[in-house]
Structure 1
């Protein structure tokens, strides 16, 4: 079981590592579902911690329909992640009718190479996240999809998550999120069948006492 902790500071990342997280998703502004972190934070986490850092590349809060300028801003974030020594990047782009923005996603995944790319929970905005898997598994460089099965929690979205895993057919990893806690992670792993899970409190509250 891989536990990916979602954090927005070095202190949280360090504590997550100490508590057994296997990987970090590094963001800023988690109140808005995560934006690109500062280069300084990327550098510090990548250089001082031992577990892989997946860096969020998202230029603004709000929807996931990106303008040409925002695609360029995402590329700049990818450049910074590479320079900092990140293990991968996290992106998510949709069209105005909530389909995968295949053109720009393909372009950014190629641009990020050789870093692996996680497509984030933008997929949960789709009417049918399983269709999203069908598209994303054809795009080289996309290695994971972060999802709660289109529902607020993984437990509520478990049926769709299982369908997404079946559609992925081992070609892409379904990284399960949605109120995954240290107290329910084993239950969620068992009912979904996933091998990788993600959460803000996946190794407990990241607050030093």
Structure 2
């Protein structure tokens, strides 16, 4: 089982590693569901941690429909992640009709190479996250989808998560999130069948 801790500073990332995290997702501003981290935290985490660092690429809070200028900012953030030595990037893009923005996701996934891409919880904003999997599994270099099955918690989204895993056909990993804690991570792993889980407190409190 891979436990990915969601962190918003180098200090939290370091504590997550000490407490048994296998990987971290580095963000800033988790009060707004995570934005691109600062250069300081990015460089320190990538150079000083022994575990992989996945870097959030999200230029602003709010929805996931991005302008050409914001997409350019996302490319710059990907460049910084590459230069810092990150192990992957995390991004998500929707169209105004709440479908996957396949065109721009494909472009950024290719731009991110050789770093793998995780499509984040923007997918949970869709009316049918399973449809999102159907689209994303056709986009090269999208390796994971971060999801709680369209529900506030993984336990409430269990049925949809299972359907998403089935739709993925082994081509893409479901990284299960949504109130995944150190106290319930094993239970959620067994119920969903996934081997990768993500949470703010997946290895306990980091503050």
Q: TM-score range, shorter-chain basis?
A: over 0.9
Shift of 1:38: 1.0
Question: What is residue 3 of structure 2 aligned with on the other side?
Answer: 3
Question: What is residue 51 of structure 1 aligned with on the other side?
Answer: 51
Between the aligned partners of 2:71 and 2:38, the Cα distance in structure 1 is 18
Question: What is residue 73 of structure 1 aligned with on the other side?
Answer: 73
Shift of 1:136: 0.3
Shift of 1:67: 0.5
1:66-99 deviation digits (Å, cap 9, x = unpaired): 0001100000000000010000000000000110
**TM-score, normalising length from structure 1?**
0.98
Any residues of structure 2 matched to 1:29-108 within 5 Å, and which? 29-108=29-108
> Segments of 4+ in structure 1 off by > 3 A?
none
Query: What is the RMSD computed on CA atoms of the aligned residues?
Result: 0.4
Question: What is residue 198 of structure 2 aligned with on the other side?
Answer: 198
Between the aligned partners of 1:146 and 1:108, the Cα distance in structure 2 is 17
Question: What is residue 110 of structure 1 aligned with on the other side?
Answer: 110
Which ranges of structure 2 fall in alignment gaps of 5 or more residues? none
Shift of 1:199: 0.2
Shift of 1:39: 1.4
SS at match of 2:20: coil
Between the aligned partners of 2:20 and 2:92, the Cα distance in structure 1 is 27
Question: What is residue 176 of structure 1 aligned with on the other side?
Answer: 176
Question: What is residue 152 of structure 1 aligned with on the other side?
Answer: 152
Shift of 1:41: 0.9
Instruction: Give aligned pairs, total.
Output: 207
SS at match of 1:81: helix
- Is 1:120 aligned to 2:138, yes or no? no
**TM-score, normalising length from structure 2?**
0.99
Question: What is residue 13 of structure 1 aligned with on the other side?
Answer: 13
Shift of 1:197: 0.1
Between the aligned partners of 1:39 and 1:86, the Cα distance in structure 2 is 12
